[in-house]
Structure 1
Amino acid sequence: MIFTKICLLLLVCCYCHFIQPSTAFSFENKKRFEYLVNKKRIKNFSIGYSNNDTTSTAIPLAPALPVGYGPFYIDVPLNHDNNDTGVTFKNRYWINADYYQPGGPIIFANAGEAEVKSASVVLFNTTMAQLTERLNGIFVYMEHRFYGESTPVTNNNGVQDLDKYIPYLSSEQALADMAYLLQTIEFPSELNVLPVPQTKVIVYGCSYSGNLAAWMKDKYPDLVFAAVASSAPVQAQTDFHEYFDPIIRYGPSDCIRNIRDAIAYIDSILFGNSTDDIDQLKKLFGAEGFYDDDFASYLLNPMAEFWQYGIDDTTNLFENIMCNKIFKNNNTVQENIIAYAAFLQPYSEQTYCDTTNSTDLQPCFDTHNATSIQEQKLQDPSTASWLWQTCTEFGYFQVAPPSGEPSIISRKLAVASMQRLCQLYFGNSTNVPELPDTDKTNQIYGGWNIRSSLQNMIWIDGEWDSWRELSVLSPQINSNSNLANSIILPKSTHCANYAGITSESPQYLVDAQNQQFETLKAWLDQANNTTTATKKTMLSI
């Protein structure tokens, strides 16, 4: 069976979710998990790991959770606005109450655009977990509707159910799910947890989950006391060519120039009149038979991946691989292209595609085959779910910039490619719009303007994060320099503060977590003091 690898978008990155369905982890969680494993930040339960794969690329499964942590399930309406469908589905969530002391807050997070495969990592080894411990709180972690097991789609009906119900997949419905859980959740009676909002709720998230944190604070102020949004692209935007701007801005200048020259040379062939030259170029990269936009996506994958997930306080894969090993200063443009081709084909075979039965990469990257698309919808509905959200609400289409602007990706990658893909996925069965209604999304949530309307809100971004371009700390807007309670992590990329602090953490991450703790603690103390003073006043009356 052929499964298409779609490499044209994603909130987390343009290549992340569209991994072969046999892969154990969603790409986002897999990358985060690899990071935690490498940094030795996994809580080692006595139960140990569940992992029978001994290949060189195997990633150990997250430690199994003891029963008391979940998963738990809550029946939520398919349509919170008017449940005219009469349909409910079971939504998964997890609880870590190990650190709770009476009066402590609930730290609440929605997992966002991925199936939850590593709840134990999140519950015990992230900044969210560490803040929960420091604040004597309870951590509640919720799977997003239509991802993983939290879906009305059944195995029996598959694509039919997905096409029928997916119009009810929206950020507004997800926020309503979160509010519903907060209003109905029951903790063990011996904990003596008061109901929300008597127990204060702090919503935390990074990436799209960071959007949800900010939007919960905005739309449900009676339930949510405070929120922390990290790497949150709150500005919906269809054409998101600015995704690549930080790479051009902060990458080694000589290396970026060499990449731009190589891509310009490649485009001179792709936009030329010689089919023989085009065929020879694609053959060089092991990409025979690729459509031009699929070829463009194939070329950008490692560059975007190494930038977004390959940079931390000790490592810079973008510089180490793309610059020092491939796009060298002493090479000609043609030599750099040949070097990239020699790297890209085996890397793609090992990283993205199942080449057990065939080394042909075209089926893996083909986004034009309707049959393959429908098979992927059946085998990997979470992929379809995020594609639906981008096709309808957010855009985030990571494409080439307008003519005349510098580019490190082929100009064959355009918004039209995403329009075609959205229609191919959903056009025959749902009312997917021609373009995402980003104006409506920004009207509902405020886009960048949300930054001026929220109290008790912390904003965090990596200085080099591509998604910062759509956050409230974006260089595209000029009024963020004095934004209260904002943190810029130096030389950092996406969700850099997600992993917990260890003795090996750089000082800026230690400082960032301390700043979050101190700010949240001050807000909680102030609210508790106000409540106490009000009670005393009422008693004196």
Structure 2
Amino acid sequence: MKEKIVFKYLVLLVLVSVDQAFSFQLIRGRPVGKHGLLGLPKTSESYVGDSLPKAQWFEQRLDHFDPVNTQTWKQRYFVNLNYFDRQSEAPIFLQLGGEGEADPIWLERGQIATNYAKHFKAGQVYLEHRYYGKSHPTVDMSTKNLQYLTSEQALQDAASFIEYFKKENNLPNNKWIVFGGSYSGSLAAWFRLKYPHLVSGAIASSAPVKAVLNFDTYLEVVDTSLGPKCVSNIRSAMNELEPLLDNENGWEILTKKFRLCDPLDGTNKDDVANFVSAVAGNFEGVVQYNKDNRKFEGAQAGNITIDVVCSTMTNVNGKSSIDRFAEVNSNLLDAYSQKCLDYKYENFIKQLREINFANGSMARQWTYQTCTEFGFFQSSDYPTQPFGNYFPIDFFVQQCIDIFGSKFNRKFIERSIEFTNNYYGGLNLTVSNVLFPNGLIDPWHALGVLHEINPSARPLIISGTAHCADMYPDSEDDPQSLKDARKKIKYAIGQFLQN
């Protein structure tokens, strides 16, 4: 069976199953495959199997905002009480799940476990997000059934769970701190905003709290992180690539150079957009997760960093710019053991129309949330970026329509984004006891809190780090800025618990 890798770089890195092979894919800015944005922390065989916390299940309401609807479902969660000092009424640390499967390895190897929980003798709980992983509120993911997939429902899930957990374990007075990264980082901040009586504070790592239709500034940060010399060589490569899109001989050349699974037809504008966004996504993904001490299931490309791809682009060594551009693409394909690049738009749409939980990749769920709540569409509309204007904002809006139906048009999405920002406050949210860590390499920091809201709700800017870097285990390669940031996070937790 031919192995394929499906690239549709809308906004996130995703692991999806295509022809029974794992693919590396950036879908609306999230690795929405098995484990979502966070991937997994690096681990060893000693943390496999019986040593990890076992799944537990909580009966959750399907629709918290309709008193007539009495339907319920089973939500999955994991608990680690190894450090917990019940006698001293130590705190409970709740990690909110995001757009991927919750994995209990975080309760053993994540920074919360190895640093903060150990220090504060805290109990740990990891709550899986509805519709992701094995937490299935409905029988399938039809568009009708996805109406219950919203951030508001997810927040009330967490609120109901906290009340249940306190009663079930006789912990009425213990304080709670909520944690999250990226989308779940936003959830953590919003949870403290909406339910301040339930949690004493929140650590909202790499949290894009402002919803936007056109997230074109994503590529602005990518360019800054790559540096002018690397970007100049990418622009030269695109100048060589663009004329090849105009004729059949050029299509054949590009098919071979970029190891495309199917011959390129330059008259199919959607395929061309997918193709160019794929090669742009090679750089987007590397920047977003640069040196972050993570591990994706099925992925082996953690050693491909900004330094590596830019060295490839700037080391001429007798190669043309487009050949070096194609070499970056091949290096990533090889790192993920992929034979070829599936750029076909129809394949992408077919994949995201899959409504069966067992056959889906979790990309459908996250795409639905971007089309109904957040936008976050990483377009090529930023004027000075080097990848041309092959994937403009209208390209992403059309995908919402092609996947979910004509209702999901631009006007619908814009209204949904307006509601999200009005409901939570966007960058002007009024909240207390929240710390917002953000890495300056990470393109998502452009939608995060970068200025102090008040003395207890403030940013933590971490130079030289990427997406959610503060949440991963310690590494000998961690920059001093990251080590210092983790000390500040620990201090902030202590302050939140004292208030």
Superposition TM-score, scaled by structure 1 size = 0.78
Deviation per residue, 1:489-517 (Å, 9 max, x gap):
12111011011336664433332222222
User: Could you tell me which amino acid in structure 1 is paired with residue 387 of structure 2?
Assistant: I
- 1:497 maps to what in 2? 470
Deviation per residue, 1:361-393 (Å, 9 max, x gap):
4xx332324545434766115111001001111
> 2:185 matched to 1:210?
yes
Instruction: For structure 2, list consecutive stretches of 5 or more residues without a partner in the other structure.
Output: 24-30, 266-270, 294-301
Secondary structure of 2:275's partner? helix
Deviation per residue, 1:296-354 (Å, 9 max, x gap):
122123211221223359x984443322123436767xx0102322442464366275x
The alpha carbon displacement at 1:465 in A equals 1.0
Deviation per residue, 1:65-107 (Å, 9 max, x gap):
448x331111111111005443221110111111112321111
Could you tell which deviates more after superposition, 274-283 or 211-220?
A: 274-283
- 1:232 maps to what in 2? 207
User: Could you tell me which amino acid in structure 1 is paired with residue 194 of structure 2?
Assistant: K
> 2:492 matched to 1:519?
yes
Separation (CA, whole Å) in 2 of partners of 1:151 and 1:65: 25
1:167 to 147, 159, 163: 147
Separation (CA, whole Å) in 2 of partners of 1:316 and 1:371: 32
Could you tell which deviates more after superposition, 128-137 or 317-326?
A: 317-326
- 1:467 maps to what in 2? 444
1:328 to 315, 334, 337: 315
Could you tell which deviates more after superposition, 223-232 or 372-381?
A: 372-381
Contact 2:282 2:328 (C-alpha < 8 Å) held by counterparts = no
- 1:107 maps to what in 2? 93
- Summarize the alignment of residues 46-125 of structure 1 with structure 2, pairs less than 5 Å apart: 63-66=48-51, 69-101=53-85, 102-116=88-102, 118-119=103-104, 121-125=105-109
Question: Which has the higher Rg, Structure 1 or Structure 2?
Answer: 1
Separation (CA, whole Å) in 1 of partners of 2:282 and 2:323: 16
When residues 329 and 256 of structure 1 are mapped into structure 2, their CA distance, relative to the original with a 3 A threshold, is farther
Separation (CA, whole Å) in 1 of partners of 2:330 and 2:483: 39
User: Could you tell me which amino acid in structure 1 is paired with residue 250 of structure 2?
Assistant: D
Contact 1:400 1:407 (C-alpha < 8 Å) held by counterparts = yes
> 2:412 matched to 1:432?
no
Contact 1:241 1:401 (C-alpha < 8 Å) held by counterparts = yes
Contact 1:232 1:470 (C-alpha < 8 Å) held by counterparts = yes
When residues 352 and 446 of structure 1 are mapped into structure 2, their CA distance, relative to the original with a 3 A threshold, is farther
Secondary structure of 2:204's partner? strand
Could you tell which deviates more after superposition, 365-374 or 136-145?
A: 365-374
1:249 to 224, 241, 247: 224
When residues 484 and 441 of structure 1 are mapped into structure 2, their CA distance, relative to the original with a 3 A threshold, is closer
- 1:508 maps to what in 2? 481
Could you tell which deviates more after superposition, 227-236 or 372-381?
A: 372-381
- 2:26 maps to what in 1? none
1:409 to 369, 372, 387: 387
- 2:122 maps to what in 1? 137
Secondary structure of 1:472's partner? coil
Separation (CA, whole Å) in 2 of partners of 1:455 and 1:201: 14
Separation (CA, whole Å) in 1 of partners of 2:485 and 2:331: 39
1:441 to 412, 420, 423: 420
Contact 2:236 2:321 (C-alpha < 8 Å) held by counterparts = no
When residues 382 and 455 of structure 1 are mapped into structure 2, their CA distance, relative to the original with a 3 A threshold, is same
When residues 80 and 30 of structure 1 are mapped into structure 2, their CA distance, relative to the original with a 3 A threshold, is closer
- 1:146 maps to what in 2? 131
Secondary structure of 1:281's partner? helix
Separation (CA, whole Å) in 1 of partners of 2:153 and 2:317: 54
User: Could you tell me which amino acid in structure 2 is paired with residue 322 of structure 1?
Assistant: V
Separation (CA, whole Å) in 2 of partners of 1:84 and 1:269: 60
| Greater strand fraction, Structure 1 or Structure 2 | 2
Contact 1:108 1:203 (C-alpha < 8 Å) held by counterparts = yes
Secondary structure of 1:16's partner? strand
User: Could you tell me which amino acid in structure 1 is paired with residue 155 of structure 2?
Assistant: L
The alpha carbon displacement at 1:251 in A equals 2.2
When residues 367 and 78 of structure 1 are mapped into structure 2, their CA distance, relative to the original with a 3 A threshold, is farther
User: Could you tell me which amino acid in structure 2 is paired with residue 200 of structure 1?
Assistant: K
Separation (CA, whole Å) in 2 of partners of 1:368 and 1:427: 15
Secondary structure of 1:523's partner? helix
The alpha carbon displacement at 1:16 in A equals 2.3
User: Could you tell me which amino acid in structure 2 is paired with residue 141 of structure 1?
Assistant: Y
Separation (CA, whole Å) in 1 of partners of 2:70 and 2:167: 27
RMSD: 3.2
- 2:160 maps to what in 1? 180
Separation (CA, whole Å) in 2 of partners of 1:444 and 1:352: 43
Secondary structure of 2:419's partner? helix
When residues 147 and 27 of structure 1 are mapped into structure 2, their CA distance, relative to the original with a 3 A threshold, is closer
The share of aligned pairs that are identical, in percent, is 27
The alpha carbon displacement at 1:294 in A equals 1.2
Contact 1:3 1:375 (C-alpha < 8 Å) held by counterparts = no
When residues 442 and 265 of structure 1 are mapped into structure 2, their CA distance, relative to the original with a 3 A threshold, is farther
Separation (CA, whole Å) in 2 of partners of 1:401 and 1:127: 37
Contact 1:327 1:340 (C-alpha < 8 Å) held by counterparts = no
Secondary structure of 1:205's partner? strand
Separation (CA, whole Å) in 2 of partners of 1:4 and 1:412: 20
Could you tell which deviates more after superposition, 224-233 or 96-105?
A: 96-105
The alpha carbon displacement at 1:110 in A equals 1.1
When residues 438 and 265 of structure 1 are mapped into structure 2, their CA distance, relative to the original with a 3 A threshold, is farther
Could you tell which deviates more after superposition, 367-376 or 124-133?
A: 367-376
Contact 2:251 2:264 (C-alpha < 8 Å) held by counterparts = no
- 1:539 maps to what in 2? none
When residues 26 and 169 of structure 1 are mapped into structure 2, their CA distance, relative to the original with a 3 A threshold, is closer
- 1:390 maps to what in 2? 370
Separation (CA, whole Å) in 2 of partners of 1:408 and 1:18: 28
Separation (CA, whole Å) in 1 of partners of 2:462 and 2:371: 31
- 1:44 maps to what in 2? 46
Secondary structure of 1:222's partner? coil
Separation (CA, whole Å) in 2 of partners of 1:32 and 1:210: 11
When residues 186 and 523 of structure 1 are mapped into structure 2, their CA distance, relative to the original with a 3 A threshold, is closer
Superposition TM-score, scaled by structure 2 size = 0.84
